Amino acid sequence: MEIDIIGVPIDLGADRRGVDMGPSAIRYAHLQQQLEEMGCTVEDKGNIEVPILETCSITDPRLKYLDCIVPMGRRVAGAVATSIQVDRFPLVLGGDHSLSIGSIRGAAKHKQLGLLWVDAHADFNTPETTPSGNIHGMPLAALCGLGDPRLVSLWDETPPVLDPERVAVIGARDLDPGEKRNLREAGVMVQSMEQIDRAGMVAALEKAIERVSRDVDGIYLSLDMDALDPRHAPGVGTSVPGGLTYREAHLLCEVVAETGKLIGMDLVEVNPILDVQNQTAILAVEFIRSALGSRIWSG
């Protein structure tokens, strides 16, 4: 497999600082070496240019730092689209989840995508439903055609980027009231922690994969490290108790790899300032390896 590593050091979409250092923390956890040991050909494309918070301003409290986030999204979309166009695998490192308005848009430029959004949050707010104004809580809604037109259409493309019927949120456990309405009306599948507890990870995930893989060219995986329980992944900005276990997260990535349909991946919300000895970034590298086919035992 030929992989392009694309760093996006952005923290403008979140309330807490430090997640802009996530790409560096993941690289420091020997990401490239670990992938090359799997037999992958890896090219690190460096970081997408992102302005620092001190040079940006809030013009609308319901869409904080929008004027700086939109150009970032365009640059990320261009980098990912270029990678996919030459049959390489874009591995996008964050940074907060607002980067996905670009990464998934870029991946969908030439392909019909199904999306697995693994996250404690659905990130399906709009300016009308957001309790915080933080744009990292809006990217999935924007990709499905909901929200501010500047997020929904970074350029002049016809929204939506994704068919909501081919989107599944996995591991949700913190949803805002208006966000729940948006999800139901859009028709997005949500496999919350309750469903995972009841049915088990494999059953919940197989149901989601069946849904998102119908009539698509590939599956994209967007993995927010706050999907894990904070005991396993302390270095995230918006931790919520009761998340995925270490093994559940690995199993999820392993099952996705088995589909043979994964064409790109985001790994977001690693905040080394809040981490313990880079533990969360080290886990991130392990999950990337599993999603790309690494196994404890194959036989």
| Residue 189 three-state SS | strand
**DSSP for 38-54, written as a single string:** TT-EEEEEEE-----GG
Residue 299 pLDDT greater than 70, yes or no: no
Neighbouring residues of 170: CB distance < 8 A, sequence distance ≥ 6: 116, 117, 118, 119, 191, 196, 204, 205, 208, 227, 252
- DSSP designation for 14: S
Q: How far apart are the C-alpha atoms of 268 and 139, rounded to whole Å?
A: 13
Spatial contact of 94 and 22, defined as CB atoms under 8 Å apart: yes
Residues 234-291: tens digit of each pLDDT: 999 999 999 999 999 999 999 999 999 999 999 999 999 999 999 999 999 999 999 9
* Interhelix angle 246-258/279-291, nearest 10 degrees: 30
Residues 11-53: tens digit of each pLDDT: 999 988 999 999 999 999 999 999 999 999 999 999 999 999 9
Residues 63-102: tens digit of each pLDDT: 999 999 999 999 999 999 999 999 999 999 999 999 999 9
Q: What is the mean pLDDT of the chain?
A: 96
Residues 221-247: tens digit of each pLDDT: 999 999 999 999 999 999 999 999 999
In a domain, 216, yes or no: yes
Q: How far apart are the C-alpha atoms of 133 and 13, rounded to whole Å?
A: 9
Residue 172 pLDDT greater than 80, yes or no: yes
Closest listed residue to residue 224, CA positions, set 216, 213, 235: 235
Neighbouring residues of 245: CB distance < 8 A, sequence distance ≥ 6: 228, 229, 232
Residue 293 pLDDT greater than 90, yes or no: yes
In a domain, 297, yes or no: no
Residue 156 pLDDT greater than 80, yes or no: no
In a domain, 28, yes or no: yes
What's the pTM value of the predicted model, to 2 decimals? 0.98
Neighbouring residues of 156: CB distance < 8 A, sequence distance ≥ 6: none
Catalytic positions, written as ranges: 97, 119, 121, 123, 136, 224, 226, 269
In a domain, 150, yes or no: yes
- Joined tokens for residue 17: 């600082």
In a domain, 299, yes or no: no
In a domain, 296, yes or no: no
Q: What is the pLDDT of residue 159?
A: 78
In a domain, 298, yes or no: no
Residues forming a β-bridge with 220: 115, 264
Q: How far apart are the C-alpha atoms of 153 and 161, rounded to whole Å?
A: 9
Which CATH number is 283's domain given? 3.40.800.10
Range of the domain at 214: 2-291
Spatial contact of 166 and 248, defined as CB atoms under 8 Å apart: no
Q: In what order do the strands lie in the sheet with 41-47?
A: 41-47, 2-8, 89-94, 262-268, 218-224, 113-118, 167-172, 189-192
Place of tokens 């689209």: 81
Q: What is the pLDDT of residue 97?
A: 98
Backbone conformation region of residue 103, classed left if phi is above 0, alpha if psi is from -120 to 50, else beta: alpha
Residue 159 vs residue 143, higher pLDDT? 143
Spatial contact of 48 and 104, defined as CB atoms under 8 Å apart: no
The enclosing H or E element of 192 equals strand 189-192
Reply yes or no: is the peptide bond before residue 160 cis, omega within 30 of 0: yes
In this prediction, residue 155 has a pLDDT band, given cuts at 50, 70 and 90, of confident
In a domain, 8, yes or no: yes
Task: Give the total number of structural domains in the chain.
Answer: 1
Q: What is the pLDDT of residue 15?
A: 85
